[in-house]
Homo-oligomer: A and B are copies of this chain.
Amino acid sequence: MTVTTSSLPIPAPREDGRRRKARRTREALAAAALELVLRDGPDEVTVAAIADRADVARRTFSRYFGSKEEAALDFVREDGSRINALLRERPAAEPPLVAYRRAVACWLTDRDTPASHHRPGIRALLALLDGDPALFGAYQRIRVDAQAESVAIVAARLGVDATRDPRPAVAVDSAAAVLTAALRMWAGSAAVAGPEGPDGPDGPEGLDDLTALVERSYDALMAEAAHAAGHEAESARRK
């Protein structure tokens, strides 16, 4: 078998021993927090139990996370950083909505840095959000911060000031809202259908396939916007 250079995974930036150790500690704490929150419910989990499970001291936890919710949602925060890294790499010719949509598609299908939606726990975690105010607040904080970074990236692409020109925020926030809506439907369909779904692993009407659902949702945004623009042009013509 011949492996061409271009098919090799892009090497990650060099990481010294200390950074690698810090990254692994963070990952161990996040994995322990997610596992315990899903097993026992967010209210029952303590920071001490998370630290214990990750085999680190209690005070080590506070060096990485401000709360157990933040730790359990660290994979969601990573998704946001990954989407923003991919957004920065999109060709300058792509309009903001296209660039955001394609960054999301790359994140969902990347095999080298798997998106957290491959982790079965993430879907269950998203389904828990609505019932737990602290988890909900932490999730919204992560979402709003990631979107603020996306707005800055898009403003730089367009060469405009995002505090005066609404275009970067409008493009990012509507594109991100479509992703969030798709994630909510995806989490909700699992909650309704159970882990295997009523029709087997693919669930009802393919809602279990997040990548297909996200594509369908972006297509719906384009169709809705075209429909709205057509309607507004027609009502302006009639006046």
Contacts and interface: CB of A to CB of B under 8 A. Distances in A.
Interface in A53-108: 93-98, 101
Interface of A: 93-98, 101, 130, 133-134, 136-137, 140-141, 144, 163-164, 166-167, 169-171, 173-178, 180-182, 184-185, 188-189, 192, 204-205, 207, 213, 216-217, 220-222, 224-229, 231-232
Nearest to A213: B166
Contacts of A221: 170-171, 174, 225
Task: Please give me the 6 A-B residue pairs with the lowest Cβ-Cβ distance, nearest first.
Answer: A137-B137, A225-B225, A97-B228, A169-B181, A174-B174, A177-B177
A221 B168 CA distance: 10
Given A164-B207, A221-B174, A98 B181 contact: no
Number of copies: 2
Contacts of A93: 231
Contact of A224 (B95, B192, B216, B228): B95
Contacts of A177: 170, 173-174, 176-177
A3 to B, nearest CB: 25
